[in-house]
Amino acid sequence: MNQMIKTIFVFLLLALWSSINIQAQDATASVTEEVEKKPELPEIFKKYEWLTDLVDPNNCNGENVTLRYTDNMSDKFILFDQVDKKVMYDLSGNVYCTNSDVLRCEDFYKLQDALESWSCE
């Protein structure tokens, strides 16, 4: 009788182990599929990760992001253009200037052509 209980116990342990192993494999496959489904970020979002706090490049609504520089190339800024406003950020993500009715940041700081840009499609 004792041997029979040991045998049943071993079979139960093996069944439990197989179940856990299969669930772990399914969970790993599920996580892998989620990672593979996620679209790759545009280059400018990879360089300046804080941009994803402003806009989701995979779920956006007309936003534009432009890397611009001053006339002497000493400073670079990110212009974030939304439908209703434009904000200029330093490369660390700090607000540097906000456009208004009387101020256009890109003109005031004499920003030059875009070095890099992204537009919501």
In order along its 121 residues, the chain shows pLDDT tens digits of: 667 676 676 665 566 556 666 665 666 666 666 656 778 889 999 999 999 999 999 999 999 999 999 987 789 999 999 988 999 999 999 999 999 999 999 999 999 999 999 999 8
Domain span at residue 17 reads: 1-38
Question: What pLDDT, on the 0 to 100 scale, is given for residue 104?
Answer: 95
Alpha carbon distance 35, 30 (integer Å) = 9
Residue 54 and residue 25 share a domain: no
Residues 83 and 112 in one domain: yes
Nearest to 68 by CA among 50, 91, 45, 43: 91
User: Do residues 94 and 62 both lie within one domain?
Assistant: yes
Model pTM? 0.67
pLDDT score recorded for residue 26 = 63
User: What distance, in Å, lies between the first and last C-alpha atoms of the chain?
Assistant: 72
- As for how many domains the chain has, the answer is 2
Q: Are 77 and 111 in contact (CB under 8 A)?
A: yes
